[in-house]
Amino acid sequence: AQSVAQPEDQVNVAEGNPLTVKCTYSVSGNPYLFWYVQYPNRGLQFLLKYITGDNLVKGSYGFEAEFNKSQTSFHLKKPSALVSDSALYFCAVRDPRGTGGFKTIFGAGTRLFVKA
Amino acid sequence: DTAVSQTPKYLVTQMGNDKSIKCEQNLGHDTMYWYKQDSKKFLKIMFSYNNKELIINETVPNRFSPKSPDKAHLNLHINSLELGDSAVYFCASSQEVIYNEQFFGPGTRLTVL
């Protein structure tokens, strides 16, 4: 069964410092991996995804993620954090279903707090 | 233009009541979803419709009944509401290819008293 783990409930970083939000996955085939961000009282917003090809994926708002097949990881990164990056971040994997339809499995979320 | 919209945004009701949440997307997507986000922010899929056909039906009490009158709309009706139904319910849509991302609505916060 597909699964996603976000080992940190919260990540604290100072503004201007690099940030990393960790994600590991378990899939039976090719991984299709996603990062979403949720601001307070809002729906999730798509940040970036890995399908195939280059292991470094660039996304919205200066975020990027590195796919590492040997470590089954897909960590989210940003070179310089902003206070406005403070939000809840979800890693997700898509699960191909034999009966049709693709179920998205979300991690538990990691709260990022960027201090000014 | 709102891509995925939900109504109402807030819903406060008594136990035992029946309520509905509506969702509409104007992105031309062929697949829509309902998710439940609990108080710990854990997000779990409930249902998915592709071109008005139910394709994902997770382990959800049968008090929850989705309906898709057309591929731009997906409604969620909940009968005999219970305290444990209190959560934020998100609608989402996508064009159904495995590598496509989903677009989420703003959520409906349901509080059952």
Residues from chain B that touch A32, judged by Cβ atoms under 8 A, are: 98-99
Which one-letter DSSP state was computed for residue B80?
S
Nearest CA among A42, A47, A59, A21 for reference residue B107:
A42
Instruction: Give CA–CA dist B61/B34, Å, rounded.
Output: 14
> What pLDDT does residue A96 have?
62
pLDDT, mean over chain B: 93
- Copy the structure tokens of residue B25: 């997307």
CB A101 to CB B55 under 8 A? yes
Cβ pair B3, B91 in contact under 8 A: no
> What pLDDT does residue A30 have?
79
Q: Which residue of B has its CA nearest to A34?
A: B101
pLDDT under 70: residue ranges of chain A: 96-101
Nearest CA among B21, B18, B26, B14 for reference residue B89:
B21
> What pLDDT does residue A101 have?
61
Q: Phi/psi zone of residue A55: left (φ > 0), alpha (ψ -120 to 50 degrees), beta?
A: alpha
Instruction: Give CA–CA dist B59/B46, Å, rounded.
Output: 7
pLDDT tens profile B32-83: 999 999 999 999 999 999 888 888 888 789 999 999 999 999 999 999 999 9
- A88 in contact with B at a CB cutoff of 8 Å? yes
> What pLDDT does residue A92 have?
95
Could you tell me the pLDDT band of residue B2, with boundaries at 50, 70 and 90? confident
Q: Is the pLDDT of residue B29 over 90?
A: yes
CB A49 to CB B98 under 8 A? no
> What pLDDT does residue A102 have?
76
Residues 6+ apart with CB under 8 A from B8: B21, B108
Torsion angle, CA of B72/A102/B90/A72, rounded to 10 degrees? -150
The neighbour count for residue A93, using CB atoms within 10 Å, is: 22
- B106 in contact with A at a CB cutoff of 8 Å? yes
Nearest CA among B29, B13, B24 for reference residue B102:
B29
- B30 in contact with A at a CB cutoff of 8 Å? no
Residues from chain A that touch B50, judged by Cβ atoms under 8 A, are: 100-101
Q: Is the pLDDT of residue B22 over 80?
A: yes
Tell me the C-alpha to C-alpha distance, in Å, between residue A34 and each of A44, A90, B25, B64, B73: 12, 8, 21, 28, 25
CB B107 to CB A42 under 8 A? yes
Residues from chain A that touch B44, judged by Cβ atoms under 8 A, are: 106
> What pLDDT does residue B1 have?
65
Could you tell me the pLDDT band of residue B12, with boundaries at 50, 70 and 90? very high
Side chain identity at residue A112, one-letter code:
L
- A75 in contact with B at a CB cutoff of 8 Å? no
CB B104 to CB A109 under 8 A? no
> What pLDDT does residue B92 have?
96
> What pLDDT does residue B84 have?
95
